[in-house]
Chain A
Amino acid sequence: MNVAPRLAGLVGDTASPTLLGLDHVSISYPTRDGILTAVEDVSFTLSAGERVVLLGPSGCGKSTLLRAVGGFLKPSAGEIRMNGRRIGAPGPDRMTVFQEFDQLLPWRTVLGNVRYALERGKSLPRRDADGVARRWLERVGLKNFVDAFPHTLSGGMKQRVAIARAFALEPALLLMDEPFAALDALTRRQMQDELLKLCEETGNTTLFVTHGIDEAIRVGTRILALTPHPGRLAAKFDVPIEARSRGTAGFAELERQIQQTVFADPEIDHV
């Protein structure tokens, strides 16, 4: 967590120890028509400071996989380990930012939401929690809205609160489940840039789920592409630093490459 921000992306592969390891993970659950396998035999590791993106179309089990890492559901086979220990119940060491706007507590103000998370998740006394919460809300540009209730905010602002809440708890691993999917295109791009900045400043380790190729390239240091029915790892891509900005040749080239190798199948070209 204390890796200097500019180094975070560079040292990922060699120096940092493995933070998260998935070992032949399969997840299936019963439905009315039988047992559905959402994720099949997925293995990968994640080192501290990395930002790994799980990319795939709807139904590829990427969100299911993220929930399993979060501890919200159990894999039916295989193991998920964090720092060598098997993952148990959900905890504030793996804060999740969800796609849905109703992840905020509607009965608490913007400040109250972040402060409450700090009080419960990090056992901070109220005064300390208040200070930390205010600092983070200022960082996400919500200084003027600390006393507002969530229902008065726009979707983008609600996601900012959720992001502030997650970062404030300084989780060992930040989980993001398509956090910008329900936003309009302009807001989404802005939020991607701002998230990237926060990640680089904090050196946070992130597992990010998305169905957008451009979003994956923008926020990730490494991309794991999944194919659906059942969800399987199809390909891995490292995102070189020079490809990370939109409009560069590297960005376009990587986008084309991912599109061709993973989503060339006409049946799933709706991505």
Chain B
Amino acid sequence: MSDIAAPKLVQASALRRALEDTPWRRIVILAGFALIWELYARWLDNALLLPTVGATLSALWSAILSGELPNRTLTSLRVLITGYAIGVAIAAMLTTLAALTRWGNEALGLFTSMFNPLPAIALLPIALLWFGVGTPSLVFVIVHSVLWPVALACHGGFLAVPPTLRMAGRNLGLSGGRFVVEILVPAAFPQILSGLRIGWAFAWRTLIAAELVFGVSARSGGIGWFIYTNRAQLETASVFAGLLTVIVIGLVVEGVIFRSLTRITVQRWGQVQT
């Protein structure tokens, strides 16, 4: 057969690329938001209710320098990642089982519809009863908050894999775990990725809420505890600094980790256009 020639591409101009690549509109919006906050806080002139942007940033800076905020953040992230990893691992086992057997399928369907609507934080009293005040209780509620949305997304993704692709895989003699890992998982990756994203957001919220509720002990508390104690001491600027940290970590995970993951996987494979 004769060779098909590759298409030729021409580079766009440097300025155009720079404007396309940078999120400059977002930066403008963010600056506008900060400006309105600052002006309103100055007009209000009540640091107890609403500290200025400047006061918040300086509180954030000193909390970082003193090492308290980084420590709290690390504590939170450690608990979060433990719970997230366990939750995702259990979700992977359940959905593999569901993809391969009828019983597994029914069980997963039943459990997800039962437990997915249950807010993780509602399990906290039970967790405290079972595991006492401390990290295991936090991990337990996080696992619950991650497990069901991730399992649901994986399962939905597996079901949506085109029959032709399944047959193409089976045609090579693939079956069982290998079929799941090498065909179903990558084929369902757009849904799995969005499940991981939702799971992450749920876990993060659940963790902060749980920490706010019982804070563990002061020595090993996380960001939630940091916010809680500063509120009790009427250090509103520090409360805002804590909230800002929660937001920034959320943004970094979403904007850096998940976005790069999307770019090097499903976007490259043409499975989504975002």
A interface vs B, CB < 8 Å?
Answer: 67, 70, 72, 89-92, 94-96, 98, 100, 102-107, 117, 120-121, 138-145, 149-152, 157, 160, 194, 197-198
A98-B167 contact, Cβ under 8 Å, with A120-B174, A152-B270: yes
Which of A89, A103, A143 is close to B168, meaning CB atoms less than 8 Å apart? Answer: A103
Q: Whole-angstrom distance from the CB of B204 to the nearest CB of chain A?
A: 28
C-alpha gap A157/B164 in the complex (Å): 17
B interface vs A, CB < 8 Å?
Answer: 1-6, 162, 164-165, 167-168, 170-175, 182-183, 186-187, 189, 265, 268-271
C-alpha gap A143/B187 in the complex (Å): 26
Is B4 touching A102 in the complex (CB atoms < 8 A)?
no
C-alpha gap A190/B183 in the complex (Å): 31
Is B2 touching A105 in the complex (CB atoms < 8 A)?
no
Is A72 touching B170 in the complex (CB atoms < 8 A)?
yes
C-alpha gap A138/B1 in the complex (Å): 8
A143-B167 contact, Cβ under 8 Å, with A89-B175, A102-B162: no
Which of A67, A142, A197 is close to B4, meaning CB atoms less than 8 Å apart? Answer: A142
Contacting residues, chain A, for B2 (C-beta < 8 A): 141
| From A67, A106, A117, A138, residue with most partner B Cβ within 10 Å | A106
C-alpha gap A220/B11 in the complex (Å): 47
C-alpha gap A154/B3 in the complex (Å): 14
Is B3 touching A143 in the complex (CB atoms < 8 A)?
yes
A-B Cβ contacts below 8 A, count = 87
Q: List 14 A-B contacts (CB under 8 A).
A: A67-B167, A90-B171, A92-B172, A95-B171, A96-B167, A98-B164, A105-B183, A105-B186, A105-B187, A107-B187, A141-B1, A144-B3, A144-B6, A160-B1
Contacting residues, chain A, for B270 (C-beta < 8 A): 106, 149-152
| From B171, B186, B270, residue with most partner A Cβ within 10 Å | B171
C-alpha gap A140/B2 in the complex (Å): 7
Q: Whole-angstrom distance from the CB of B101 to the nearest CB of chain A?
A: 17
A96-B171 contact, Cβ under 8 Å, with A102-B165, A105-B186, A151-B270: yes
Q: Whole-angstrom distance from the CB of A177 to the nearest CB of chain B?
A: 9
Q: Whole-angstrom distance from the CB of B2 to the nearest CB of chain A?
A: 5
Which of A92, A100, A144, A160 is close to B171, meaning CB atoms less than 8 Å apart? Answer: A92
Is A145 touching B6 in the complex (CB atoms < 8 A)?
yes
Contacting residues, chain A, for B164 (C-beta < 8 A): 98, 100, 102-103
Is B170 touching A90 in the complex (CB atoms < 8 A)?
yes
C-alpha gap A145/B4 in the complex (Å): 8
B1 nearest in chain A by CB position: A141
Contacting residues, chain B, for A160 (C-beta < 8 A): 1
Contacting residues, chain A, for B268 (C-beta < 8 A): 149
Can you name 6 extra interface pairs (CB under 8 A) apart from A102-B165, A140-B1? A90-B167, A92-B172, A95-B171, A120-B174, A157-B4, A194-B1
Is A120 touching B186 in the complex (CB atoms < 8 A)?
no
B166 nearest in chain A by CB position: A72
A104 nearest in chain B by CB position: B168
Q: Which 8 A-B pairs have the closest CB atoms?
A: A151-B270, A141-B1, A144-B6, A100-B164, A121-B172, A107-B186, A120-B172, A106-B269
Contacting residues, chain B, for A67 (C-beta < 8 A): 167
B175 nearest in chain A by CB position: A89
C-alpha gap A120/B175 in the complex (Å): 11
Is A72 touching B269 in the complex (CB atoms < 8 A)?
no
B186 nearest in chain A by CB position: A107
Contacting residues, chain A, for B186 (C-beta < 8 A): 105, 107
B183 nearest in chain A by CB position: A105
A91-B162 contact, Cβ under 8 Å, with A72-B167, A96-B167, A144-B3: no
Contacting residues, chain B, for A120 (C-beta < 8 A): 172-174, 182
Is B168 touching A107 in the complex (CB atoms < 8 A)?
no
